């Protein structure tokens, strides 16, 4: 618990943020009609997106044009997460039971793809991944009572299953809603869960054992809990709720690193269930998205930004993208 106190203590934001700035959400033409739950902002010009029917999208001109890419052999797969490294290299994760859970990698802008990892265990189900340089981690649902964590140190070319992930309580699992149920936060790996319990599981670098803490988002429902995590300048921001009740009050919590006080969950509910969150680099301000709209959080309150629904969001600097159902994709710009 002392380690958790040092790493994450929930607190209020200390400065004004998004609500005092202008947030522009500019609709763009994706060229597809499938649901897009994966998004990765590489730069203000370069981004990747992914979704159903083995679909991957790429832009190199800020979203003026999106290239539609079909991954061979993946036509029936749902790519819930994608991580872009640059304009040429990206790693895409598909979900599903057994062999439907896979990881593909391209290093030539989507011209060719390599199947880097395919699940062979019918009990396993891939959820989300995160990269820190060439080091990466992928979270899968529990098997025999423990979450599975796969790791790579070569940019997703090869993967290995770690000896033991965090222990799961009965009914506890992760949500593959936006590819952001796992995050790197101040020298630690953090995962968010839901279902039987909604918790944060933390593995500090150099440590062998996971630490777990209740998120405060538990609703005793299999479809509710923590859905998305985002590292921030001050620690971590998490959002969630109940995906069956999209417009019911959602959940969010804010963690501040370095505070040695006892961690106390502070819930700051947005307008509805939120499946994705991203925060501005170096600023205490975050945007949360869900099927019922987009909200911005600053030091004091949520502010409604849009009633258009999205599933995932990613921001680099003050620019990013958000994606959702029916091929919906939009550029996000935040200015003072």
**Residue 1, pLDDT above cutoff 50:** no
3-class secondary structure for the chain?
CHHHHHHCEECCCCCCCHHHCEEEEEEECCCCCCCEEEEEECCCCCEEEEECCCEEEEECCCCCCCEEEECCCCCCCEEEEEEECCCCCEEEEEECEHHHCEEEEECCCCCCCEEEEECCCCCCEEEEEEEECCEEEEEEEEECCEEEEEEECCCCCCCEECCCCCECCCCEECCCCCCCCEEECCCEEEEECEECCCEEEEEECCCCCCEEEECCCCCCCCCEEEEEEEECCCEEEEEEEECCCCCCCCEEEEEECCCCCCCCCCECCCCCCCCEEEECCCCCCEEEEECCEEEEECCCCEEEEECCCCCEEEEECCEEEEECHHHCEEEEEEEC
Superfamily of domain 2-335: YVTN repeat-like/Quinoprotein amine dehydrogenase (2.130.10.10)
For 106-115, the pLDDT digits (tens) are: 999 999 999 9
Q: What is the mean pLDDT of the chain?
A: 87
What confidence score (pLDDT) does residue 243 get? 86
**Residue 293, pLDDT above cutoff 80:** yes
**Residue 310, pLDDT above cutoff 70:** yes
Lowest mean pLDDT among 116-120, 217-221, 286-290: 217-221
**Residue 246, pLDDT above cutoff 90:** no
Where do the domains of the chain lie?
A: 2-335
What confidence score (pLDDT) does residue 262 get? 37
Instruction: Give me the mean pLDDT over the 7-25 stretch.
Output: 52
What confidence score (pLDDT) does residue 258 get? 43
**Residue 301, pLDDT above cutoff 70:** yes
For 131-145, the pLDDT digits (tens) are: 999 999 999 999 999
pTM of the model: 0.91
Instruction: Give me the mean pLDDT over the 295-310 stretch.
Output: 87
**Residue 161, pLDDT above cutoff 80:** yes
User: In the structure, what pLDDT confidence band is assigned to residue 245 with cuts at 50, 70 and 90?
Assistant: confident
**Residue 214, pLDDT above cutoff 90:** no
For 58-78, the pLDDT digits (tens) are: 999 999 999 999 999 999 999
């Amino acid at each position: 618990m002392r380690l958790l106190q040092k790493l994450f203590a929930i607190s209020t934001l200390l400065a004004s943020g998004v609500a005092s700035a202008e947030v522009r959400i500019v609709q763009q033409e994706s060229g597809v009609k499938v649901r897009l739950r994966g998004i990765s902002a590489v730069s203000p010009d370069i981004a990747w997106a992914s979704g159903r029917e083995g679909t991957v999208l790429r832009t190199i001109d800020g979203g003026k044009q999106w290239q539609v890419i079909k991954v061979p052999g993946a036509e029936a797969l749902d790519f819930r997460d994608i991580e872009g490294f640059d304009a040429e290299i990206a790693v895409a994760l598909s979900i599903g039971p057994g062999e439907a859970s896979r990881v593909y990698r391209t290093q030539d802008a989507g011209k060719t793809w390599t199947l880097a990892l395919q699940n062979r265990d019918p009990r396993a189900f891939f959820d989300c991944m995160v990269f820190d340089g060439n080091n990466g981690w992928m979270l899968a649902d529990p098997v025999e009572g423990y979450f599975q964590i796969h790791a790579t140190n070569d940019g997703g070319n090869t993967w290995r299953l770690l000896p033991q992930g965090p222990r799961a309580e009965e009914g506890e699992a992760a949500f593959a809603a936006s590819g952001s149920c796992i995050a790197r936060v101040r020298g630690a790996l953090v995962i968010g869960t839901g279902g039987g319990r909604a918790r944060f599981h933390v593995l500090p670098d150099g440590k062998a054992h996971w630490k777990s803490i209740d998120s405060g988002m538990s609703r005793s429902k299999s479809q509710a809990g923590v859905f998305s995590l985002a590292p921030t300048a001050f620690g971590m921001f998490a959002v969630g709720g109940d995906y069956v009740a999209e417009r019911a009050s959602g959940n969010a919590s804010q963690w501040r690193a370095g505070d040695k006080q006892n961690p106390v969950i502070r819930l700051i509910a947005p307008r509805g269930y939120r499946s994705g969150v991203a925060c501005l680099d170096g600023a205490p301000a975050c945007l949360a998205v869900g099927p019922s709209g987009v909200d911005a959080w600053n030091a004091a309150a949520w502010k409604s930004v849009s009633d258009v629904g999205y599933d995932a969001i990613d921001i680099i600097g003050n620019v990013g993208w958000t994606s959702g159902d029916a091929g919906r994709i939009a550029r996000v710009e935040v200015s003072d």
